[in-house]
Each structure stands twice: as C-alpha cells, then as structure tokens.
Structure 1
Amino acid sequence: MNNEKAVFAGGCFWCMVKPFDRYDGVHSVVSGYTGGFTVNPTYNEVCSEKTGHYEAVEITFNPDVISYQELLNIFWKQIDPTDGGGQFYDRGHSYQTAIFYQNDRQKKLAEKSKEELTRSGQFNKPIVTEILPAKPFYPAEEYHQNYYQKNPAHYERYQKGSGRADFIKQNWEV
C-alpha cells in the first residue's frame, strides 16, 4: 500500500479530526503540533504561543482511494479561510490555518486550490490560509486524540458554541 500524509492546521484540532475520519482511504487522523521550533511540545506550551507551533492534524491516506485534492476540498470546508487571527472562538498563532505540503506536487495542488477559492468569489475578504513546507509533526497528548469520539457531548457543544458549526452551514453547505 502506498500511503501518503497530509497535514492541515484548521484551528482547534478537535474539530479537524471528524471531517476526515469518515472517508474511505483515510487510515488515521492524528491531532498534534507542527510548524514551530520546540521539540515535542505539550499542549500547554503550544497554548502559551511561545513554540511557533500550530494545532494541526496529520492524515495518513491511500491516494488510490482518496486523493490529496479531495482532502484539500474537505479542509477548506472546515475553516474560515479569511481569518488571520485564529479560528472562531480560538485566537492566536497556534489556531491559525495552514496547509503543510509534503512535496512539490502537494504544494502545487494546495496553491491551485487556494487560487480557485480566491477566484470563486465565495468570500469578500482575502484568503489568508498559508501554504507552508512540512516541518516535524508531534502528536498531541492522548486525551486529545479522537476527541469527538471520547467526548461527543462536549465536542458538539464546542463545535456549535465556537461558531464553527454555524459558519460551515452558512458558507459551505449552501
């Protein structure tokens, strides 16, 4: 099997697992940290905004079943790509959006998808999601993994209370 990895930062990583987890060809979705300079950071360190890391998910997928382009399409529909200060309730660098490409092909596909979203006119503000080279990915603590399954009631309240659920409904499910 020829698996690949995709890494996306879309704000709170709790909210970024479930959307990918349900697709055939996705083998795992791991919550973690990337993009910064601290080795093996903890959640508290990342929240301090002193590590340079983003909360992100690392997706292991079979490109023969689900393409990187399909993953990009799923990613865009989970975020507000015009918000440079974080995502919804969560503010700060660690909650900003980014696509971390693994190779030149992923970089080109990510850039093309961002250009297409910009040209679509769906948003009247600039698309600020960055496209960055992959850096080491550090899995988050176990209690963060598959949070939506371990704590479904809290996850649903958070998804709604943060404003993410309404934003997705209003902007992506039209």
Structure 2
Amino acid sequence: MSKETAVFAGGCFWCMVEPFEAMPGIEKVTSGYTGGHKENPTYEEVCSGTTGHTEAVEVVFDNETISYPELLNIYWQQTDPTDAMGQFVDRGDSYRPEIFVNSPEQAEAAQASKEALDASGRFNKPVLTKITKASTFWPAEDYHQQFYQKNPAHYKRYSELSGRKTFIKEAWEEA
C-alpha cells in the first residue's frame, strides 16, 4: 500500500467526512483546521476568525486504490466552487473552500482539475476555490470527529437545512 495525504476545505467539516470515508482506499478522514497562523487552535478560536484557519479534512488514502484526481472529483462535488467566502449557510474565512496540496504532483493535478471544471461550463460563475501549499493540519476536538456517525439526526438536519444537499443535487446529480 502506498499512503498519501490530501487536505480539503469545503465549508463545515462535518459534511466533508462521509463522502470520502465511503470510498474504497480511504484509510482515515480527520476533521481539523489548517491554513492559519495559530498553533493548535480550538473550534471557538477558528470560528472567531482571528486565527486564519479554515475547517478542513485530512484524508489518508492508498493511492494504488484511489487516485488523487479521483479525490478531487469527490471534493468538487461536495462544494460550491464559485463561492470563495464560505459554503452555503456557513459564511466567512473559516469556511472558505480551499485545496491544500502536499506535493508538486498534487498541485499540478489540483490546478488541472480546477481549470477543467471552470472550462466545463457547469457553473455560470468562475471557479474561485484556492489551491495552496499545505501547512500544519491541526485535528479538531473529538466531538467533531465522525460527527455524521455520532449524531446522525443532527448531521442530516444540518446538511439539508444548510443548503448543501440541495446544491449538490442541482449542480451535480441533475446536471
């Protein structure tokens, strides 16, 4: 097995875990914070907007079973890539969509994927998701990990009422 790590920010990290965990070749998905300047930030600090971090997921995967470009396809289909300042009801820098790359190969694949999505005409606005060199990933508090499994009713309500499920259906499933 050849392990690799991918880091994706797409709004509330609660909704970013399940789509990756459901795929073969995924070893672990961790909710956390990245892209900021404070060491070991807390949820409250990140939400305050003072740390520069965004909520993200770290995906450890076997690149012989699932490729990084396949992960990028999953990522795009969980976000509104035309909204740079949050996702759905979650607004602000701590919910910004961003791809954090760990290698030149990931950077190249992410850029190619973004350009292809932008050129596809799927959205009538430009794809604004940033691609950034990865920095330290700080795992979130335990109560945020695998939230969809620990609190299925709350997770279901949130993912529907936030507008995420409707957007995904309209942008990806009906297109």
> What is the deviation of 1:2?
1.8
2:103 is the alignment partner of 1:103? yes
Match of 2:116 in 1: 116
Question: Secondary structure, in 3 states, of the residue corresponding to 1:172?
Answer: helix
Match of 2:52 in 1: 52
Gaps of 5+ in 1: none
Work out the CA distance in 2 between the residues paired with 1:118 and 1:84: 14
Q: Alpha-carbon deviations, 1:86-145, whole Å to 9, x = none?
A: 000000001010000000000000000000000000001111000000000000000000
Match of 1:41 in 2: 41
2:85 is the alignment partner of 1:85? yes
Work out the CA distance in 1 between the residues paired with 2:93 and 2:34: 12
Question: Secondary structure, in 3 states, of the residue corresponding to 1:94?
Answer: helix
Work out the CA distance in 1 between the residues paired with 2:84 and 2:101: 19
Question: Secondary structure, in 3 states, of the residue corresponding to 1:23?
Answer: coil
Match of 1:172 in 2: 172
Name the aligned partner's letter for residue 10 of structure 1: G
Work out the CA distance in 2 between the residues paired with 1:129 and 1:11: 11
> What is the deviation of 1:84?
1.5
Work out the CA distance in 2 between the residues paired with 1:47 and 1:85: 13
Name the aligned partner's letter for residue 69 of structure 2: Q
Work out the CA distance in 2 between the residues paired with 1:70 and 1:161: 28
Q: Alpha-carbon deviations, 1:16-50, whole Å to 9, x = none?
A: 00000011100000000000000000000000000
Name the aligned partner's letter for residue 22 of structure 1: A
Task: Describe how 1:9-88 pairs up with structure 2 within 5 A.
Answer: 9-88=9-88
Question: Secondary structure, in 3 states, of the residue corresponding to 2:173?
Answer: coil
> What is the deviation of 1:85?
1.6
TM-score when normalising by structure 2: 0.99
Match of 2:143 in 1: 143
TM-score when normalising by structure 1: 0.99
Identity of aligned residues (%): 60
Dislocated runs of 4+, deviation >6 Å? none
Name the aligned partner's letter for residue 4 of structure 2: E
Work out the CA distance in 1 between the residues paired with 2:85 and 2:75: 18
Work out the CA distance in 2 between the residues paired with 1:165 and 1:105: 31
Alignment length (residue pairs): 174
Question: Secondary structure, in 3 states, of the residue corresponding to 1:16?
Answer: helix
